[in-house]
Structure 1
Amino acid sequence: MKIGILGLGLIGGSLGYDLRSQGHHVLGVSRRQSTCQKAIALGSVDEASVDMSLLATADVVFICTPIGLIVPQFQQLISHLSAATIITDVASVKTPIVKALAPLWRNFIGGHPMAGTADSGIEAAQRDLFLGRPYVLTPDTTTPTSVISVVEEIVRSLGANIYHCQPEQHDRAVSWISHLPVMVSAALIAACMGETDPDVLQLAQNLASSGFRDTSRVGGGNPELGLMMAQYNRQALLGSLQEYRHNLDELINLIEQENWTVLEAKLQSTQQARPNFVE
């Protein structure tokens, strides 16, 4: 099968590695010629170009650009494709993407691989990035079953675990476990940088270890991605942030009141709940 990848960053490049290993012929398109050359040299794609017409012969196209570029680049892309071409995306927000693209292309299905690292660019791409990770598909009532089957087959070949849901359900769920942690983690780093004593700040930086590394990782990631999460999943993220603030206020009150019994119960509850989210 010929598979096109529009956007050769971390996700697009990683897809290319795995799809080529499955025997597919991978066509890549990037905004920069240097990225195209690097993707070929690294073995992520078979062919690459800055010209979208390269994807004209693709059976399936994965749109892997930043969220803000998906709709405008999709509109350019479809002028090069036959009506039979299947298109999917990898955006971490689904509702606005599906609403914009599904009416324009019958063979479109929204998708989101829940995989990634704090790094970005083709250099960050890696093999088996999706192995054992969730991969969400958001078909609607008009999505042809043949389209769902083809994309499911490709996703399974990546070793990912497939989940189906409505775009709105997806966006609410990821606001809790993906987008909220980015904002909380960013706030943690910003709060630490608010220390006014330079000696104490330096000491904190010297002493920071695994606990700080784990809780600050996503807040120190790609700023563009965090901004897009906030812009395109604004309502769901605001709801999650407000609930988080409510819980933070509750902890502050318990500590101010020295209510150690209730605080301990709260921490026991969160200890018991965590395995439901993280194996």
Structure 2
Amino acid sequence: MSVDSPIRSISFIGLGLLGMSLLQAIKRSPLALESDIFFQGFDPNFSDGDRESVESLGVDRFTDDKKTLYQADLIILSAPVEINIALLDEISQLAPPTTLVSDVSSTKSLIARRARELGLPFLGMHPMAGKEQQGYRESNAELLQGRRIILCDDNNLLAGDKAAFLVALLESAGCTTLLMTPEEHDRVIAKISHLPQLLSTLLMTWCGDSISKSGPGFATLARLAGSSWDIWRDIIATNSDNIADELERFSRELDLLSHEVRKHDLEQLESRFNEANRLYQTLKEMNRP
């Protein structure tokens, strides 16, 4: 039995790992099942076989008809961020003014700014989930289970019915939500996501001549080195200042660490280890299913 809800149709543009995982997670949620929500999607890189596959995974209709695609209560942009930004112009022309627009991009300032310029009701989302393998074949609703989704609302949209219902859908799918401004998001994510990715990439290339002698500890630390440049190109391009700031701060901390090691400052090194151990236990608790 369906309930009367402000969101009855959702369009996903971009059906890769995160887009398809989010679609499956929302579609299987108790609230979405009660509300009888219709899910449609499009990805320009799909073959006929890909189309059939995503329909079997939960897309009710795959369509390349833009007018049909944009006639939805909610549009979720899940392509690379620069493509998502470019799509906003088209959405402003073809979508009803009541359509809520969201995205799953890893940067938020530029897309939020463009949405404001176009007068679009835009609520940014960033699911804090993923893996180095990409594509809808790697998608799974469980990827979002228990994960935080950062929401960026600088237009007070969460006071409205559709945005509030979207939050309820996410929570029904097993996610938790956290509110930030787009600018705060980009600064924080540069530190906890973009910096680790580049450090892992650098570590792998720095140690490339010795990896045949490495063990599982190195593989765990360097896991992010398997991430695709196709995804990270847009992320770096749209958050370069914040990422560069974090790299420079971290490089200064590395200088301090090398000085402590060379000087045998074991007391300070022990303090670093103890604090890292404490924070690691906190991290484990936060990510416990």
> Structure 1 length normalisation: TM-score?
0.89
Which of 86, 108, 122 is matched with 1:72 structurally? 86
Q: Partners of 1:174 and 1:144 in 2: how far apart?
A: 22
Q: Partner of 2:225 in structure 1? A: 219
For 1:70-90, what per-residue CA distance to the aligned partner results, in whole angstroms no more than 9, with x for missing partners? 111222233331111111111
Partners of 1:171 and 1:252 in 2: how far apart?
29
Tell me the secondary structure at the aligned position of residue 266 of structure 1: helix
Q: Whole-Å Cα distance in 1 between the matches of residues 52 and 68 of structure 2?
A: 14
- The SS at the match of 1:132 is coil
- CA 1:263/1:19 → structure 2, altered by over 3 Å: closer, same or farther? closer
Q: CA deviation at 1:185?
A: 0.6
Matches within 5 A, 1:85-104: 85-104=99-118
Q: Of the candidates 241, 259, 271, which is equivalent to residue 235 of structure 1?
A: 241
User: Which runs of at least 4 in structure 1 moved beyond 6 Å after TM superposition?
Assistant: none
Structure 1 position 268 matched with structure 2 position 274:
yes
Once the 2 structures are TM-superposed, how far is the Cα of residue 38 of structure 1 from its aligned partner? 2.5
SS of equivalent residue, structure 2 residue 154: coil
Partner residue in 1 for 2:174: 159
Is 1:28 aligned with 2:34? Answer: no
Kept in 2, the 8 Å contact 1:112–1:137? The answer is yes
Q: Check the 8 A contact 2:154/2:181 in 1, yes or no.
A: yes
Displacement of 1:94 in angstroms is: 0.8
* Greater relative contact order (Cα < 8 A, sep 6+): 2
Deviation at 1:171, TM superposition (A): 1.1
Structure 2 partner of 1:121: 135
Tell me by how many angstroms 1:157 deviates: 2.2
Please state if 1:9 is matched with 2:22. Answer: no
The residue type equivalent to 2:41 in the other structure is: G
Structure 2 unaligned residues grouped into runs of 5+: 1-7
Unmatched tracts of structure 1, length 5 or more: 196-200
SS of residue matched to 1:26: strand
Local SS of the residue matching 2:144: coil
Q: How far 1:56 moved relative to its partner?
A: 3.4
The one-letter code matched in structure 2 to 1:239 is D
Secondary structure of residue in 1 paired with 2:12: strand
- Aligned twin of 1:198: none
Q: Deviations over 1:92-144 (max 9, x none)?
A: 11111101113324421111111111111111111222111010111114536
Q: Distance in 2 between matches of 1:25 and 1:206?
A: 52
SS in structure 2 at match of 1:258: coil
Alignment pair present for 1:37 and 2:52: yes
1:187 and 2:202 correspond: yes
User: 1:278 deviation in Å?
Assistant: 4.2
Deviation of the 1:242 alpha carbon: 1.2
Contact in 2 for aligned 1:3/1:60 (Cα 8 Å): yes
3-state DSSP class of the match of 1:136? strand
Conserved? CA contact 1:14–1:44, under 8 Å: no
Identical columns (%): 24
1:123, 1:129 → 2: CA distance? 13
Larger mean CA deviation between 158-167 and 77-86 belongs to 77-86
Change (3 A) 1:103 1:271: same
- Please give the root-mean-square deviation of Cα atoms over the aligned residues, in Å: 1.9
Count of aligned pairs: 269
CA apart distance, 1:243: 1.5
**With structure 2 as the length reference, what TM-score do the two structures score?**
0.86
Call closer, same or farther: CA 1:97–1:255 in 2, change over 3 Å: same
* Residue 81 (structure 1) aligned with residue 108 (structure 2): no
- 1:46 deviates by 0.7
**CA-CA distance at 1:277 after TM superposition:** 4.0
* 1:138 paired residue number: 152
Give, as a single letter, the amino acid of the residue that structure 2 aligns with 1:6: I
Contact (CA 8 Å) 1:87, 1:107: kept in 2 or not? Answer: yes
1:52/1:77 contact within 8 Å kept:
no
